[in-house]
Chain A
Amino acid sequence: MARKIAVGMAEYRVSNDPEDVLCVLGLGSCVGVCLYDPVRRIGGMVHVLLPEHLPGQSNPFKFADTAVPALLAEVEKAGASRRNVFAKISGGARMFSGADTLFDIGKRNAEAVREALKALGIPLKGEDIGGNRGRSIFFYLEDGRLEIKILGRDAMVI
């Protein structure tokens, strides 16, 4: 039986059970970052809120620049091999129309995630970023596919 594991805000989950599905329900400007080793079928997901680490904050999983290396360390700890690992990312929407740049944080989050992946040399195999709609995302550890659902639209897979 596939097990759905929800990843809360500023949290991460890692699993080596290919039956598991890591998910975020109702993702807005946050970004869900998925790392996957297709050979060992081990994966992890982190749900980041902000682009850069703020001084005095202890949780590395809240910020893109610290969350991506921290998640990589966790999937490696679970048995993934770094040279196999690829990434898929989704989220970073701009939810409110009529607002000024106040809500442009989604775009900055996505940029910070891409930069962190690049710095670690992890290939980005798929992304669905931006727009003005919220998403629910489901990361299947059997094959590393990422399913994305938006209200009133058909689900898509990257």
Chain B
Amino acid sequence: MVLFEDLNEMQLDALKEIGNIGAGNAATALSKMVGKRVNMEVPLVRILPLKDVPEWLGGPEKEVLGVYLGVFGALTGHILFVMTIDDALKIMRILLGDMAPSRDQILSMDELASSAMGEIGNILSSSYLSALADFTGLHLNHSVPAIAVDMAGAIVDVVLIEISQHSDYALLIETVFVEEEDRITGYFMLIPDTGSLEIILQALGVV
């Protein structure tokens, strides 16, 4: 069984490349939605223990938006996309202008806020997933996105529980979307189930 923590340089590079393409797809999807050019940077792609993710996001009590997708098809696993509430607010304003939900609406997860955020999460997450599918040639599906707005620790702990029988590590792709003065950071995490990482590496020819 291949584990994230055992990957060699070449295998990591292949996964990083998928991360870059996925981030590019996500920026293109955002550009189409807003009708303006959205650039992106990928400052960081790394493997890290999921329990360290809340620290990465600014501490366990940091208010974040989390979008969860189950992955199935040729391989199984989990996707978690996270951004801070402040950055989620910026995206809403870019997309919806004056119609954007307020911070309070986001925190209380009213109907407008949750549907808008679910949609954004869905579009961004599936951008990364389609990069993975394209690169590997594997047929992949995902579940309907489940969203949560809460403390980073609480959101990550749920996913950690789900995966604790498989792995404690995630592939983290940090992406910064740049639209005029706004910089929005999204954290995309891929957690393959036992055996699925091997399927990815085999499909990439880097076993």
Contacts and interface: CB of A to CB of B under 8 A. Distances in A.
A136 interface: yes
Interface in B135-193: 143-148, 150-158, 160-162, 164-165
A49 B165 CA distance: 11
A121 interface: no
A28 B162 CA distance: 12
B151 A103 contact: no
Contact of B66 (A93, A96, A105, A151): A96
A136 B151 contact: yes
B146 A103 contact: yes
B154 A27 contact: yes
Interface in B56-89: 59-61, 63, 66, 68, 70
Contact of A98 (B63, B147, B151, B152): B147
Given A49-B164, A136-B61, A96 B158 contact: yes
B29 interface: no
Interface residues of A, number: 30
A28 B165 contact: no
Contacts, number: 99
B102 interface: no
B144 A93 contact: no
B51 interface: yes
Interface residues on B, range: 35 or more
B202 interface: no
Contacts of B145: 98
A105 B63 CA distance: 22
B154 A28 contact: yes
Interface of B: 51, 54, 59-61, 63, 66, 68, 70, 104, 107-109, 114, 118, 143-148, 150-158, 160-162, 164-165
B154 A98 contact: no
Contact of A26 (B118, B153, B164): B153
A8 B51 contact: yes
A8 B118 CA distance: 30
Contacts of A27: 153-154, 157
A20 B63 CA distance: 26
Contact of A28 (B51, B63, B144, B157): B157
B185 to A, nearest CB: 19
Nearest to A96: B146
A125 to B, nearest CB: 24
Contact of B155 (A8, A95, A98, A152): A95
Contacts of A106: 158
Interface in A45-91: 49-50, 54, 62
Contact of A134 (B59, B146, B155): B155
Contact of A95 (B70, B143, B158): B158
B160 A134 contact: no
B153 A28 contact: yes
Nearest to B69: A99
Contacts of A145: none
Contacts of B152: 26
Interface string A15-33: 0000000001111111000
B160 A49 contact: yes
B106 to A, nearest CB: 10
A56 to B, nearest CB: 10
B154 A26 contact: yes
B112 to A, nearest CB: 14
